[in-house]
């Protein structure tokens, strides 16, 4: 059974994996919305950024991060 981490609220604020996952979601949304308003951005630009950020989520999750819960995570 899955359990929330003891300091889940702090993790949401400080963990890079969470930040990168949110950024990937934002970029994916922009990829859909922006073409409705302008053709200034080359097609696929936000999709490529979203892929790069999404790939960065995994290393960010497994690398120890200081100041997430007071010590290494």
Q: 18-64: per-residue pLDDT in tens?
A: 888 888 888 888 877 877 777 766 777 777 888 888 888 888 877 87
Does some domain include residue 21?
yes
Does some domain include residue 2?
no
Q: What is the pLDDT of residue 70?
A: 56
> What stretches of the chain show up as alpha helix (H) in DSSP?
8-14, 16-33, 45-62
Q: What is the pLDDT of residue 51?
A: 85
Tokens 């200081």 belong to which residue?
Answer: 66
Number of domains in the chain: 1
pLDDT-derived band at 13 (thresholds 50, 70, 90) equals confident
Does some domain include residue 69?
no
Closest CA to 57 of 32, 33, 31, 28: 28
Does some domain include residue 72?
no
Query: CA 27 to CA 47: how far, in whole Å?
Result: 7
Q: What is the pLDDT of residue 73?
A: 44
Structural domain for 46, as ranges = 8-62
Does some domain include residue 73?
no
Whether the pTM exceeds 0.75: the reply is: no
Does some domain include residue 71?
no
With beta carbons less than 8 A apart as the criterion, state whether 15 and 65 touch. yes
């Amino acid at each position: 059974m899955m359990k929330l981490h003891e300091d889940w609220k702090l993790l949401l604020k400080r963990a890079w994996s969470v930040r990168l996952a949110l950024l990937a979601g934002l970029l994916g949304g922009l990829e859909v919305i922006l073409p409705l308003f302008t053709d200034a951005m080359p097609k696929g630009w936000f999709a490529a950024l979203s892929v790069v950020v999404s790939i960065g989520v995994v290393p960010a999750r497994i690398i120890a991060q200081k100041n997430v819960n007071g010590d290494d995570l």
